[in-house]
Amino acid sequence: MIILSRSQLNSLIKGKLPTIALMVLVVLMQFAVSFVLVTSLSGIHYNQIELKKQESDLDKWKEEKDYYTFPYASINLQVSNQEAKAWWNFYNMEVTKDDAIFVRHDLFAGPEESSQDQLFVTPSYLKAQHIKAKEDFSNLKLGEYALLIPKNQMKNRQKLITKYNKSLTETTQNGKKENKMKAKYVEEVPNGEKRFMYNVAYEKMTTQQEISDPIIIVITPQSSGEDTGLSWAGDNDYFFVKGKEQTINRLKKLGLYDKVHYLVNAYGQYEAQTNLVKESLNMAIMSAIITIIVISFFYILLHVLYFTHFRRTIVIKFISGMPNLRIHRPFIFVELGLLLILLPTLTIISNEFLYSLFFVSALWFISLIILLVQMKNFENGQINSLKGE
């Protein structure tokens, strides 16, 4: 809110604008809009990188177009024993087929060397991703799992076995009942491999779709046990099936169909996510364009107010033959000082120094251009007045 003095209020009543107060208001509004523009530029940069990555991953998803997933519909996170058993039976039946896979990245934190580089999968994942193994893991018995370790981490073989034995045992506990997990198979896999993550669980992870040289832990519902703390019932975001109608029929037969929202194509789900990034990019671009127009308008208005308020002083100096740069030097210094204040302020708020520097430099350039145009128009107007035109 601008507080006007008595003299300013009298001037306003007489039809004279309080130009100094308006100039201060315009500068404050410029500062506010500047924050929006820097945020928009940062958003454009981020969304461009994200879109490029997602479009690349979308090409990989095209090879997996036949997979479906089914979001869990229950608001209540507590699952009854009967329902948990039904889900276990469903997953147990599905993983025996080559066209249903389970793949999860964030089951628990592994050893420090690999806390972000691990995948928990069913044997069908290995077939789907053409990962060669010496043994057949489809017949894992209760308490057994397989460990596939990249060559460059085989030096930690025993440490990894001990760690995952303990972690999986703790994860599969159910109350006082303990299902001791042991690595039945330990195999070496080549380095330099990127593994597809089938990641559509965006609220739990990033949109990352590949992981380099992860440790792969192969488990099944049979190996983790029916009475387990490993909640297969809550892992629908990580389970992928083929055959929509057949899956619906099996869910209905087990009384689970009303527990899911719907079956959704995983490729279509990721494509929709990619389209959201495109929309975010377009919104950021539109926001940047609009704010640039608004800022340009404010700069033009600021210069108009400046020439209006100091018109008499400028005319006197102009008639006396003073150079234009000397006439407007105080105004130029004030503008430069405001921009120098704006630069660190924008940097602190947006945490984007390069964008802030680019933006402030652009504002300085725009300001000089507008000032030169205004100076030329003012000069031509005064010359015409002196000529009596």
**Residue 57 in domain:** no
Residues 283 and 258 in one domain: no
**Residue 268 in domain:** no
> How far is the C-alpha of 50 from the C-alpha of 56, rounded, in Å?
10
Pair 58, 274: CB distance under 8 Å: yes
**Residue 374 in domain:** yes
Residues 14 and 157 in one domain: no
Residues 189 and 313 in one domain: no
Owner of token pair 């120094």: 353
pLDDT surpasses 90 at 224: no
Q: Residue 364: what pLDDT?
A: 83
- Of 7 and 307, more confident: 307
**Residue 221 in domain:** yes
Q: Which of 262, 297, 314 is the last residue of a domain?
A: 262
pLDDT surpasses 80 at 3: no
The amino acid that residue 217 corresponds to is I
Residues 177 and 143 in one domain: yes
> How far is the C-alpha of 381 from the C-alpha of 319, rounded, in Å?
12
Pair 346, 356: CB distance under 8 Å: yes
Domain enclosing residue 82, as ranges: 71-262
Residues 179 and 225 in one domain: yes
Residues 254 and 295 in one domain: no
From the list 242, 262, 190, the residue with the least C-alpha distance to 67 is 242
Q: Residue 178: what pLDDT?
A: 64
- Of 208 and 154, more confident: 154
**Residue 81 in domain:** yes
CA distances 127 to 138, 187, 348, Å, are 11, 16, 50
> How far is the C-alpha of 48 from the C-alpha of 69, rounded, in Å?
28
Mean pLDDT, range 242-258, rounded to an integer: 88
Q: Residue 234: what pLDDT?
A: 56
Residues 382 and 302 in one domain: yes
Q: Which residues, in sequence order, are bridge partners of residue 11?
A: none
From the list 202, 371, 362, the residue with the least C-alpha distance to 270 is 202
**Residue 176 in domain:** yes
The amino acid that residue 223 corresponds to is S
Q: Which of 233, 262, 291 is the last residue of a domain?
A: 262
The backbone torsions φ and ψ at residue 378, rounded to the nearest 5 degrees and listed phi first, read -65, -45
Neighbours of 110 (CB within 10 A): 19
Q: Positive or negative, the Cα torsion across 64, 48, 194, 161?
A: negative
pLDDT digits 0-9 by tens, 196-211: 989 886 545 567 888 8
Residues 13 and 147 in one domain: no
Q: Which of 262, 288, 317 is the last residue of a domain?
A: 262
- Range with top average pLDDT, 36-50, 180-194, 325-339: 180-194
Number of domains in the chain: 2
Residues 284 and 307 in one domain: yes
| pTM passes above 0.85 | no
**Residue 59 in domain:** no
**Residue 270 in domain:** no
> How far is the C-alpha of 307 from the C-alpha of 311, rounded, in Å?
5
Residues 77 and 189 in one domain: yes
pLDDT digits 0-9 by tens, 317-328: 777 778 777 888
Pair 158, 196: CB distance under 8 Å: no
Helices first, then strands: H and E counts in the chain: 12, 10
pLDDT digits 0-9 by tens, 60-89: 898 888 999 887 655 555 667 788 788 888
Query: Given pLDDT bands bounded at 50, 70 and 90, which one contains residue 15?
Result: very low
The percent of residues in the chain predicted with pLDDT above 90, rounded, is 15
Tell me the longest C-alpha to C-alpha distance in the chain: 104
Q: Residue 14: what pLDDT?
A: 44
Residues 96 and 244 in one domain: yes
Side-chain half-sphere of 246: how many Cα atoms within 13 Å?
11
Q: Residue 2: what pLDDT?
A: 45
From the list 130, 162, 123, the residue with the least C-alpha distance to 146 is 123
Residues 80 and 158 in one domain: yes
Pair 18, 4: CB distance under 8 Å: yes
